[in-house]
Amino acid sequence: MRIRSVLAEPALCGFYRDDQAAIRACAGRDGFLYVGSPLTPGFSEVREAGAAVTVLLVLEDGQVAVGDCAEVQYSGAGGRAPVFTVERAARRCVWPIRLNKPSPTRTPSPAA
């Protein structure tokens, strides 16, 4: 099966991302949110909506495979990757997918 096209769309996660450094530095709580300035590069708020990229692979037979790439809650903390951006994820993970090349084959799991 060959991949004919790749689509990538920005999305939001079902969770949020937190600037752990700002929280540990005593950012104040305001209900579900935090009050204060972020300390980790890439954050614009102490708590933000999580980001993701929805990826659609259009296969040669017309089927569409769907998946997503989502970030972790504490981006940039404890050696984790920097704050997730849709642009960086698309550039590093999605666009390198080779079009018109055979996709890896998978052996279906036996029915239970």
CA torsion angle 35 37 39 40 (round to 10): 80
CATH number corresponding to 3-94: 3.30.390.10
- Amino acid, single-letter form, for residue 66: V
> What residue spans define the domains of the chain?
3-94
User: pTM for this one?
Assistant: 0.67
Instruction: List per-residue pLDDT tens for the chain, 112 residues long.
Output: 788 888 888 888 888 889 999 999 988 899 989 999 999 988 999 999 988 888 888 899 999 999 888 887 777 777 777 787 777 777 777 766 766 666 555 545 555 4
Report the C-alpha gap between 29 and 23 in whole angstroms. Answer: 9
